[in-house]
Structure 1
Amino acid sequence: MSMEFEGLIFDLDGTLADTMPAHYLSWREITQKHGLKFSEDRFYSLGGVPTSRIFSMLADEQGVSIDPGACAIEKEETFISYLSEVGPIDPVIEVVRENHGKIPMAVATGAMHWVMERILDELDIHHYFTAFVSSEDTVRHKPFPDVFLEAARRLGVTPEKCCVYEDAQLGIEAGKAAGMQVVDVREFHTPRRITAGA
């Protein structure tokens, strides 16, 4: 299907990399440490929202005083300790391999740049992509289309000629708002849940 497109854009967490269980383990560890509640369902509903913004939201809602930026760094450093448990999402990586060298491809993520780099290196897939957009690169984040529009700009492809691969509802909305075709990875990949029956 991708041959009709001139650019492919991939979300990272839960799309290229099966990171969501490891992310939730690290979220649970740090939120509990700071006296915050964060259910696994809520975690999935906020896929694509930058870490520091989620900490701000949780702190405001629960009346807890924290430094969201410092907590975000703590959470991401904890996540890195779980990286050995992270694997590729094979059907998506297959699309990447099939199109490598044929059309330009980008990674567009709500993750911090250094975390994105570590995940791509861990999975040895960095070399497939020619453009990278992380949370530091846009002011507005998913569900706003900015991250995908910036990826298209860096690829040199008009948005309507791009196809986005995404696993989170906010990211799917962002891709559609950017005027791009969107493939919902949840149709063929379900991440393992940490909380039984959640």
Structure 2
Amino acid sequence: MTLPLPPGDFQAYLFDCDGTIADSMPLHYVAWERALAEWECTLPEDLFYAWGGRPVADIIVDLNEQQGLTMPVEVVARRREDIYQQLLPQLSAVPDVLRHIHDAHGRLPIAVVSGSTRESVTASLRTLDLLEKFDVLVCAGDYARAKPDPEAFLLAAKLLDVPPQSCLVFEDTDFGIQAATAAGMAAVRVPQPRQR
């Protein structure tokens, strides 16, 4: 896979984590399946990918509503995270994105902008030996409105002290691309695992 960059004089790179830096979406899906099975809940794989970038709590609330369940959001979210942490030894990076991280490190400020918790993001980046490469992490809980709202990307630009229009975003989800566009940022679409 080659990941060409759009033309432009970019002053910062903003990377989503799951599915963009970390080839973690298949592992996250396994974690979801196992956690939800304990409550006799299902999450079809197509819907899982369509909902990529959404906060975990929002997904559990919607699944409860769709399937007439009353799963406790915090309990299921914690269980899903625990299962994901157990799967981390299987985690790998998306090679072409990894090349862009190494190329930018020390040359441009770079940030992670994720809908996942700080715990999950730092665990993934630490597993991949990438945590120290990033100047800023913007994770769930750092902003009020999730992607496709641009708030998280705008916060990262502010923390890096780079104008939004000078940032290049790397994203794998529709919500992420929409958020980058709404923030006035150029974006690179990272193909999902089934498309690579």
TM-score tier (shorter): over 0.9
2:175 corresponds in structure 1 to 170
Q: Describe the SS at the equivalent of 2:112.
A: strand
Query: Does residue 35 of the first structure (1) align with residue 40 of the second (2)?
Result: yes
Residues 120-143 of structure 1, C-alpha deviation per residue, up to 9 Å, x if partnerless?
Answer: 100001111101100010111011
* Moved >2 Å (runs of 4+): none
2:25 corresponds in structure 1 to 20
Alignment of 1:34-113 (within 5 A): 34-113=39-118
Q: Which amino acid aligns with 1:112?
A: T
1:192 Cα offset (Å): 5.1
1:110 Cα offset (Å): 0.5
Q: Is the 8 A contact 1:21 1:192 kept in 2?
A: no
2:142 corresponds in structure 1 to 137
Query: Does residue 153 of the first structure (1) align with residue 158 of the second (2)?
Result: yes
Q: Which amino acid aligns with 2:100?
A: V
Structure 1 CA distance for aligned equivalents of residues 150 and 75 of structure 2: 27
2:193 to 191, 194, 197: 191
Alignment of 1:118-137 (within 5 A): 118-137=123-142
Structure 1 CA distance for aligned equivalents of residues 71 and 103 of structure 2: 45
1:196 corresponds in structure 2 to none
1:62 Cα offset (Å): 1.1
Give the gaps of 5 or more residues in structure 1: 194-198
Structure 2 CA distance for aligned equivalents of residues 146 and 78 of structure 1: 29
Residues 168-198 of structure 1, C-alpha deviation per residue, up to 9 Å, x if partnerless?
Answer: 1111111111110000011xxx4159xxxxx
Structure 1 CA distance for aligned equivalents of residues 78 and 148 of structure 2: 23
Number of equivalenced pairs: 190
Q: Describe the SS at the equivalent of 1:134.
A: strand
Give the gaps of 5 or more residues in structure 2: none
- Structure 1 vs Structure 2: percent identity of aligned residues? 35
TM-score normalised according to structure 1 size: 0.93
